[in-house]
Homo-oligomer: A and B are copies of this chain.
């Protein structure tokens, strides 16, 4: 791969995207969990706030499956506000007047970081399925290199929801001395059979689309839009709770007083799902979707620690020094509270430093992206407490 790979085309021309980019693994390629090597590779990232003199105020935010590094500024393709603007910004729970916030596009992604849409230097063509398979561990390994590149020895905190929560856990387990605190939200220590099953449906929907062309659609000038839309529709149902769908849509009809006795979108929920599918293919790459879902499927902290989750939090026989705050949402059936509780129990069993809050909401898994004041208060409060322990001086604008 060239030093600055001409990161390719659909759906976003990475070179023209806002935000920061760094090439890593140029001297020594990064060894992946699969045994393959990756390097040089690009990590696209964004930062907010100012790193303090002793570099102790850095917070790493890890994004979810289809997220990106535009946490608190406008999405370059959709034009929508940053996906966590409610949580991250001046005076917000993750206060950018006080903390230096970093977020990077995961490797394997499609918004600037190296992934299957990049040109494979071996062929001069987009990688497609020749891009190496990644794990959550690999994603975090790349993030660690970025953090080192930024000259930061120890992150004040790592925060993430869903797959971002997996990365947060991975950070704490792989680099316990480099993380002061961790907030894994709406996540799990391993992907469940049901969640693997839903991912497999999405992958099969993509691969069933003849325009997928065995992953070589960029070369062949097609895009598996129908398959990717179906994958998104199936996934989207899992992000919402049944009560939320009922409250939002119920059996309401779309622009009509009666059913039409046909296969058009009679019900609002159908129209909504179709829109979600159509909007998604505008901003996301099908192969990236395959790679990232696969990384989530492979995630299993306990398996990596010899079958015991507790052991994952006792590296070298010594309890992890990381302070944890776990958050789950009562109506989240994709990453239910029981998954967070399993992590809490493992941490308790090694006398780890952990707090845990289940937020009562009917918004399902998506709640971590939505206006949930109690959730935001929990984040604020936990960070305040950690800042005090860490001895972070308060530095606010105009105060």
Contact = CB atoms under 8 A, between A and B. Distances in A.
A52 B209 CA distance: 55
Contact of A261 (B34, B250, B259, B267): B34
Q: How many copies does the complex hold?
A: 2
A259 B298 contact: yes
Given A194-B245, A294-B263, A237 B270 contact: no
Contact of A297 (B200, B207, B237, B267): B267
A230 B298 CA distance: 22
Contact of A197 (B191, B204, B237, B298): B237
A121 B198 CA distance: 42
A262 interface: yes
B233 A208 contact: no
A53 to B, nearest CB: 43
A300 interface: yes
Contacts of A196: 251, 267, 269-270
Query: Which residue, A192, A200, A269, has most C-beta atoms of chain B within 10 A?
Result: A200
Interface of A: 33-36, 129, 132-133, 190-194, 196-198, 200-201, 203-205, 207-210, 226-227, 229-230, 233-234, 237, 240, 242, 245-246, 248-251, 259, 261-263, 265-267, 269-270, 273-274, 277, 290, 294, 297-298, 300, 303, 333, 336
Given A194-B242, A205-B208, A234-B234, 13 more contacts: A34-B261, A133-B261, A193-B242, A193-B250, A194-B246, A196-B267, A196-B270, A201-B230, A201-B234, A203-B263, A204-B229, A207-B263, A242-B333
Name the 3 nearest CB pairs between A and B, nearest first: A208-B226, A34-B261, A133-B261
